[in-house]
Amino acid sequence: MSVNVSPPVLLTIDDEEAVRSSIAAFFEDCGYIVLQACDGHEGIDMLTNMRPDVIITDLRMPNVDGLEVVTSVTSLDDNLPIVVLSGTGMLTDALQALRCGAWDYLPKPLADLAELEFVVNRCRERARLVSENRAYHENLELLVKQRTAELRTLCIAVEQSANSVVITDVNGTIEYVNPKFTEVSGYSSEEAIGRNPRILRSDKQLDSYYKEMWQTISSGREWQGEFCNKTKDGRQYWELCSIAPIKDEHGSITHYVANKEDITARKRHEDQLYYQANFDQLTGLPNRYYFQKYLELQLELVDHDTQFLTLMVLDIDNLKAVNDTFGHDFGDLLLKEIAHRMELACGLNTVVSRFVGDEFTVVPPLSREADSALFQAERIRSALNDVFMIKGTEITTSACIGVAIYPEDGECVESMLKNAEAAMYQAKRDGKNAVVLYTRELNSQLEQRFLWDARLRKALERDEFTLQYQPQVDQCSRSIVGVEALLRWTPAGESPVTPTQFIPILEENGLIVPVGEWVLQEACRQAVAWRQAGLPAMRISVNISALQFMRSDLELTVRRVLEQSGLEPVCLCLELTESVIMTDSDPTLKKLADLKEIGVTLSLDDFGTGYSSLAYLGRLPINELKIDISFVRRMLSTPNDAAVVNTIIAMGHGLGVELVAEGVETEEQLQYLLERGCPVIQGYYFSPPLTAERFVAFCGVNAKV
Ligand code: C2E
Ligand code: MG
Ligand code: MG
């Protein structure tokens, strides 16, 4: 590749035409473009138009002489080689020319033009070197200027950075911190420099975390991670930090530079999101999502051969009734208290979560004994039985707990849950406030339950409900003093289902309200019909469930039914259970008083199974206590139950209320109760519940027993 270089230009200034010509001829041969000027004046003129690469000038010339040329050339361009030829042969001339700026000197006449060429070449080489040198220095200067500007920008960037910047030496001693660092950490640069970044540690992170960081950066690699640090005055903050080693030209680390972004706000937001996703806002307990993840994890961890994993599902009895009576704010406060008590009863290693509404789950730590969970369940249950004080109101509650144990009762979250829930529903059916361990039969019962639920919804319109009547006999007067109406359900084409199986379903799905009203109507209608048929006067008892009682229109319903049927209020007895009147509260007392006002009798059914306090009982406007069947059944074999029966009888006498003993089956039981002063008996000893016709027959035969 040929480079197109323009030929060098030589200017010869001489008043002797011959000299100029010979120089021109010679240098043109050497490839120069030669310009000629016949005196100094013309020479200087030519310089203004173009710059030759070299000038050869005579010293002695008319008008403007060589010295003047030299002076003006050097003042014009100090790197333009100018060679002086002098015919005088005087050394002083030459010296003067050199002093004025001439580059070299040759005497005239020129013996050998090659000598001139040599001088010219040497001068041009010098000029080339000078200009190269100058260019080099100019570049250097430019570079330094650029670099300085860059560094200044960099400095400003670091100083004004929105991130903290810390530079340490290879040992970790701080050499530089930027203003942001001071703003975030509270340490001024004077306080930080010379110390170790360890001053920021919050002890929230393990030593191994820092160790790993040091290993990475001291091996020459960059490290990125999050630090929980503390400020000079002890506040915690989070930083996203990247630390890079700085190496010298030999590759040895001389410094570390840390760039740290304050992510405290983001962390807080993340924490908040995590909390919202995993915890229940009301109670602060882990929520359903957290629970499921936790149970999944426990199922992975459990050692099949040596450990048991237990799941409890706990449902608060009657929370709906509490909400209906006292409002949801009250119910919420109760739930919070319940959650708190459950946590206390369970201890630290158990995960209690709010599954949904009033349903909680409990996962105790993995254990070698299956029954330790049952003890815990009992502990929770009894903790919830203690009186709660909500907004100045005393309230008692109870819970049903279903327990499923891995691996027998389920191998995955879904099956464990399903089975623990089945056990919980069984506990509800067992009369509430109970702990029930899952058994395989429960699942089919649960399926049955769903089936029944659908059928029960149609039972009323299909006339599948009937009532049976069980007499209450006064052993002293040996007369029938009352009769309890008991609901029966016979699904079309099937055998009857017992009330203990279907009534809890009606209570849960709310159907107990219309069905209960039907019972009330039917019982009242029947009572009037019997009176008209000539049966002796007696009281008819109707069971009222919690949901019916809680409804604001119960009083009106009772009044309306009495009016429609024509039954006298004194002939109607409403049986309420202790759990219905669960709270020592003004609304409850008001409701009872309103019912009492109608003139009906109020009876406390299944007495002794609840937790009514004696003081509370004294304030209740009730007329009758029904001793629960379970005590009667066991009173002759278990001294404790005998004591309960004795106490209830004494209490009834003390309070001046009537007593009825339920479930009397034998002569011995009858005698025992009679001796203790409880003559009114309801039980198989006299009669099981009967159809209306058979009851009439029973009355006919036994009008006087
Ligand atoms: P309860 O009100 O305590 O009724 C007494 C239960 O004891 C009746 O069971 C009755 O048949 C049974 N019983 C009476 N004497 C004896 C005896 O000597 N031995 C035995 N083993 N049992 C006896 P039933 O009819 O199965 O009713 C069970 C429960 O269902 C009732 O208990 C009551 O709580 C509820 N129930 C029944 N009918 C209604 C109703 O119309 N409305 C509401 N809300 N609940 C009802
Ligand atoms: Mg009853
Ligand atoms: Mg009863």
Q: What is the mean pLDDT of the chain?
A: 90
Cβ–Cβ contacts within 10 Å for residue 147, how many? 10
Query: Helix, strand, coil proportions of the chain in percent (round to 5)?
Result: 50, 25, 30
Residue 611 is predicted with a pLDDT of 60
Look up tokens 């361009």; give the residue: 77
- Assign domain 454-629+680-701 to a CATH class: alpha beta
Cα of 501 from ligand 3 centre, angstroms = 15
Atom 2 of ligand 1: nearest residue by CA position: 543
Residue 616 is predicted with a pLDDT of 73
**Residue % of the chain over a pLDDT of 70:** 96
Atom of ligand 1 nearest to the CA of 577: 34
- DSSP symbols for 180-197: HHHHHH---HHHHTTS-G
CA distance 180 to 105: 69
Atom 24 of ligand 1: nearest residue by CA position: 499
Cα of 518 from ligand 2 centre, angstroms = 16
**DSSP assignment letter at 73:** H
Q: Is the peptide bond before 679 cis (omega within 30 degrees of 0)?
A: no
Q: Which residues contact 4 (CB under 8 A, 6 or more apart)?
A: none
Q: What is the pTM of this model?
A: 0.52
**Phi/psi of residue 321, nearest 5 degrees:** -65, -40
CA 591 to chain centre: 44
Cα of 659 from ligand 3 centre, angstroms = 12
Cα of 441 from ligand 3 centre, angstroms = 27
Looking at residues 487-502, what average pLDDT do you find? 92
CA distance 173 to 292: 48
437-452 pLDDT tens trace? 887 777 777 677 778 8
CA distance 502 to 545: 13
Residue 88 is predicted with a pLDDT of 64
Rg (CA), the chain: 55
Looking at residues 252-276, what average pLDDT do you find? 93
Q: What angle do CA 247, 249, 252 make, to 5 degrees?
A: 40
Fold equal for 156-269 and 454-629+680-701: no
Ligand sitting nearest the alpha carbon of 606: 3
For residues 439 and 382, the answer to whether their CB atoms sit within 8 Å is no
Query: CATH assignment of 156-269?
Result: 3.30.450.20
Atom of ligand 1 nearest to the CA of 486: 38
Look up tokens 């040895």; give the residue: 252
CA distance 453 to 505: 7
Residue 145 is predicted with a pLDDT of 93
CA distance 705 to 699: 9
Query: Both tokens of residue 695?
Result: 């009851």
Domain ranges of the chain: 9-110, 156-269, 286-439, 454-629+680-701
Residue 705's pLDDT band, with cuts at 50, 70 and 90, is very low
Q: For the ranges 13-17, 436-440, 700-704, which has the lowest average pLDDT?
A: 700-704
Residue 577 is predicted with a pLDDT of 86
> Which among 561, 662, 669, 691 is the best mutation to test ligand 1's pocket, defined by most ligand atoms within 8 Å of the CB?
662
Looking at residues 497-523, what average pLDDT do you find? 92
What residues flank ligand 1, with Cβ below 6 Å?
A: 470, 486-487, 498-500, 503, 512, 516, 519, 543, 545, 575, 605-606, 629, 662-665, 682-684, 689
Question: 399: part of which helix (H) or strand (E)?
Answer: strand 398-406
Cα of 47 from ligand 2 centre, angstroms = 133
114-136 pLDDT tens trace? 999 999 999 999 999 999 999 99
| CATH homologous superfamily for the domain 286-439 | Reverse transcriptase/Diguanylate cyclase domain (3.30.70.270)
Residue 588 has pLDDT above 80, yes or no: yes
Atom of ligand 1 nearest to the CA of 498: 26
Q: For the ranges 103-107, 257-261, 485-489, which has the lowest average pLDDT?
A: 103-107
- DSSP symbols for 53-69: SEEEEES--SSS-HHHH
How far from 85 is each of 13, 77, 105, 106, CA to CA, in Å?
10, 20, 6, 5
Q: Which residues contact 240 (CB under 8 A, 6 or more apart)?
A: 224, 225, 226, 260, 261, 263
> Which among 456, 543, 576 is the best mutation to test ligand 1's pocket, defined by most ligand atoms within 8 Å of the CB?
543
Atom of ligand 1 nearest to the CA of 519: 41
The residue ranges of DSSP E strands in 512-619, in sequence order, are 539-543, 572-577, 583-584, 601-607
Query: Both tokens of residue 269?
Result: 């937001």
Cβ–Cβ contacts within 10 Å for residue 3, how many? 4
Atom 11 of ligand 1: nearest residue by CA position: 689
Strands 680-682 and 658-662: parallel
| CATH homologous superfamily for the domain 9-110 | Response regulator (3.40.50.2300)
Atom 27 of ligand 1: nearest residue by CA position: 499
